[in-house]
Chains A and B, each alone.
Chain A
Amino acid sequence: MELIKHLLFSVYFHQEMIYIVILMIFLGIEVIGRVPSVLHTPLMSGANAIHGVVIIGAIIVMGSAESDNYVALILGFLAVILGTLNVVGGFVVTDRMLEMFKKKK
């Protein structure tokens, strides 16, 4: 009962976020729905780079870690590196793929 109350409160408290989730689900499907199959790989790669936005969470973890909390510092540092790999690597790979598409003209 306590848990249900907690979760219900969370729904109320996060209602804005929940609206965003629902709208984004539809938007994501709409936007992708029109992609020609030629672009499937670059698109997957581009989407891969975009979910690298998780890096922001890593930055927050790292930046809010107390200077004596070594576990948070080390894990946060690692998370920043991995997240950056995802973002930068993802965008560069996608660009490389798309560069070749342009060349044919």
Chain B
Amino acid sequence: MWDYTDKVREHFLNPRNVGEIKDADAVGEVGSLACGDALKLYLKLDEGKERIVDAKFQTFGCASAIASSSALTEMIKGKTLDEALGISNQDIAEFLGGLPEEKMHCSVMGQEALEVAIAKYKGAAVPVHGHDHEHVEMEGEVVCKCFGITDQFLKKVIASNKLHTAEQVTHFTKAGGGCGGCIPRIKELIAEVMGDQPKEEHKKPAKLTNLRKMQLIQDVLEKEVRPLLWADGGDLELIDINGNTVQIAFRKACAGCVSSGHTAKFVEQKLREYVADDLMVEEVEG
């Protein structure tokens, strides 16, 4: 069972502002039946068309999607459009006393619907995300085909929530949660976005004895590298460790693969990330 806060539970059982506003000034719709959740947000503005005087929602989704929608409408009532745009998905989650990480995409959906509603009202380009069913022109490259999510939207969520792993990106946006085929691309996007920002380093031991280093190298190959190769039908074997040179031989699909050079680089990158900066990977026949 999900560990929902009392506030999530309360907003789910007694959601505020359910329904539609017939003469709404702005409407934002995101999600779809296929995705498993969807939100339609209605905004009514004051006479000066500056301040949100009423907000209502219709949501198809789980308890946290309903609670996030309810929270969002409560948070934006009385705010100016600019103030409302300042609300982030973290703010929605915080309002609810937190959401399980697997459910963070519900708060992202709320923030997205708000952004779409306001952009459409202002006649601006509708912000690029993926899975709306308004059929707006989507900019950017579709990364996750299962949920129809673009790179631009992913980059935004990665940056604003400081996401470091593909799993987190899935929890926040759903991307990668279907067939999983786009996970390598998501990892690239994380590297691209977070590469510019100070990222949490894996705790690399400052000084390693030879024995510890060898153990760590083996460990990283077993846990971080080989499972990824298996997924593509490949494999590798550790042949020897000579000083800072790690000798590996590719097996199965990786053996003789034209891009094994890239794979070797990838292995090196992983080892440098987890073990020591000066490691080099050498491909050998073995």
Partners in one complex: no
Interface residues of A (CB under 8 A from B): none
